């Protein structure tokens, strides 16, 4: 009788643990990035009353062992890392992982991992989790280059951060020079150039028809129209109106010729056969500066996060540049991770974190402006809750029945 009560007691304890796990899952049904767990039970060592016997040829058949189980034990709690549903929030710092992987986060003395993407910025511009952990990634340099082979660190997004100015170095010229124009006809176009400090300078190019199918380009800069030299400045066209010289279809201004412009300026006349190239057809003159790479300084006004984790800033000068890139970590055995408040930590059985960029090496992609919700299935949890309740009741009934039988044994002496 005592043995059956002890056996049933182990069942009570295990089903109580099962209820605890289910209760925790249901309590976190609205927790961002939460992963549900299930309990796995196993029987414990059994008591062998009689061992197995081998058959004796012609005399006796074999006998099976006679054993009595001694109850059950909790073997494991298994986490389910299935994808949770995505919920749209519209906040630029809310990120959801679609696929495998974890955000790598760091406290003062420990690296941890989380699926919760409800991120925010602190006073210093550090990207943080709601618990105050630093989100890890790679910071871009001043030119927007990101070295993802370096050790990940904290990522900063400082509103109002400055984007350096760019000196104008490449400009594209396109349009038509009128084939009907008389020799001596001139037309002037202006490039609003940016020097090293982002100060604008008018750079004027004057196209003068010097012979049939030939135009010579001269340049001036600044408000005083100071002349400057241009190499490859004679444009020649064939009878079909197509540019044949200069051969590389570029005009060049040497570095230092214009004050504040230490780097050369290249005027691209357009690839042969391309739309917008410089031509000489009958009709009006439409030649103009199509585009250039110079810019003034700009301040950060907004940012966005791409699927690959690249954080791109939008600046007041109309340009965009990479600010940084977020890192994701994957594990050979994510089931081996140890759950802590709001995150997981690596263990000896999870394997080392394999950190890299989203979308590579088995890592999932990021979805900005969304959050991954809990993967708790309430219908499944309530079904398991019923099973746990009935398991607890059944084991309790074994104890009460054993107690009644034991009482009958005690009453035998009356």
pLDDT at 414 over 70: no
pLDDT at 253 over 70: yes
Composition of the chain by helix, strand, coil, percent to 5: 15, 40, 45
Written as one string, the DSSP assignment of 135-191 is: EEEEE--TTS---TTSPPEE-B--TTPEEPPB---EEEEEEE--TTPPTT-EEEEEE
| Spatial separation of the C-alpha atoms in residues 134 and 161, rounded to whole Å | 20
Written as one string, the DSSP assignment of 93-109 is: TBEEEESS-EEEEE-SS
Note whether 129 and 116 are within 8 A (CB).
Answer: yes
In this prediction, residues 232-239 reach a mean pLDDT of 96
Note whether 357 and 363 are within 8 A (CB).
Answer: yes
Predicted pLDDT at 37: 95
Per residue in 179-212, pLDDT tens? 999 999 999 999 999 999 999 999 999 999 999 9
Predicted pLDDT at 45: 72
Beta-strand ranges (E) seen in 177-308 are: 186-194, 200-211, 214-221, 226-228, 234-237, 243-245, 250-253, 265-268, 278-279, 288-292, 298-305
Per residue in 350-403, pLDDT tens? 999 999 999 999 999 999 999 999 999 999 999 999 999 999 999 899 888 888
Predicted pLDDT at 63: 80
Among 8-17, 57-66, 150-159, 243-252, the range scoring the smallest mean pLDDT is 57-66
Note whether 235 and 217 are within 8 A (CB).
Answer: yes
pLDDT at 67 over 90: no
Predicted pLDDT at 1: 64
Q: What percentage of the chain carries pLDDT values higher than 70?
A: 99
pLDDT at 413 over 80: no
Per residue in 116-162, pLDDT tens? 999 999 999 999 998 899 999 999 998 899 999 999 999 999 888 89
User: Is the pTM higher than 0.75?
Assistant: yes
pLDDT at 263 over 80: yes
Per residue in 19-59, pLDDT tens? 999 999 999 999 999 999 999 998 887 777 788 888 888 78
- Looking at every residue in the chain, the average pLDDT score rounds to 93
């Amino acid at each position: 009788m005592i043995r059956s009560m002890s056996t049933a007691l182990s069942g009570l304890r295990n089903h109580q643990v099962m209820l605890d796990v289910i209760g925790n899952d249901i309590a976190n049904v609205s927790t961002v990035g939460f992963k549900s767990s299930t309990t796995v039970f196993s029987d414990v060592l059994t008591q062998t009353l009689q061992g197995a016997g081998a058959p004796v040829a012609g005399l006796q058949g074999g006998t099976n062992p006679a054993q009595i189980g001694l109850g059950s034990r909790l073997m494991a709690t298994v986490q389910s890392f299935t994808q949770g549903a995505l919920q749209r929030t519209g906040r630029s710092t809310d990120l959801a992982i679609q696929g495998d992987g974890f955000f790598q986060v760091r406290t003062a003395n420990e690296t941890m991992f989380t699926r919760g993407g409800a991120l925010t910025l602190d006073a210093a511009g550090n990207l943080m989790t709601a618990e105050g952990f630093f989100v890890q990634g790679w910071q871009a340099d001043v030119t927007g280059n990101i070295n993802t082979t370096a050790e990940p660190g904290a990522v900063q997004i400082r509103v109002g951060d400055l984007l350096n100015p760019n000196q104008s170095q490449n400009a594209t010229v396109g349009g038509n020079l009128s084939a009907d124009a008389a020799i001596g006809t001139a037309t002037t176009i202006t490039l609003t150039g940016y020097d090293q400090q982002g100060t604008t300078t008018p750079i004027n190019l004057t196209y003068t028809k010097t012979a049939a199918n030939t135009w010579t380009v001269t340049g001036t800069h600044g408000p005083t129209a100071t002349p400057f030299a241009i190499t490859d400045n004679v444009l020649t066209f064939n009878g079909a109106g197509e540019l044949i010289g200069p051969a590389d279809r570029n005009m060049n201004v040497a570095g230092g010729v214009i004050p504040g412009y230490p780097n050369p300026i290249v005027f691209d006349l357009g690839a042969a056969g391309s739309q917008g190239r410089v031509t000489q057809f009958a009709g009006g003159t439409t030649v103009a500066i199509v585009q250039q790479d110079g810019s003034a300084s700009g301040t950060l006004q907004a940012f966005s996060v791409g699927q690959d984790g690249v954080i791109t800033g939008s600046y007041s000068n109309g340009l965009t540049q990479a600010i940084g890139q977020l890192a994701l970590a994957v594990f050979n055995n994510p089931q081996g991770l140890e759950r802590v408040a709001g995150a997981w930590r690596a263990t000896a059985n999870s394997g080392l974190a394999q950190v890299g960029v989203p979308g590579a090496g088995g890592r999932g992609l990021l979805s900005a402006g969304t959050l991954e919700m809990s993967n708790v299935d309430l219908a499944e949890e309530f079904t398991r809750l019923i099973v746990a309740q009935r398991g607890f009741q059944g084991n309790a009934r074994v104890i009460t029945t054993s107690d009644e039988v034991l009482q009958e044994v005690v009453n035998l002496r009356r």
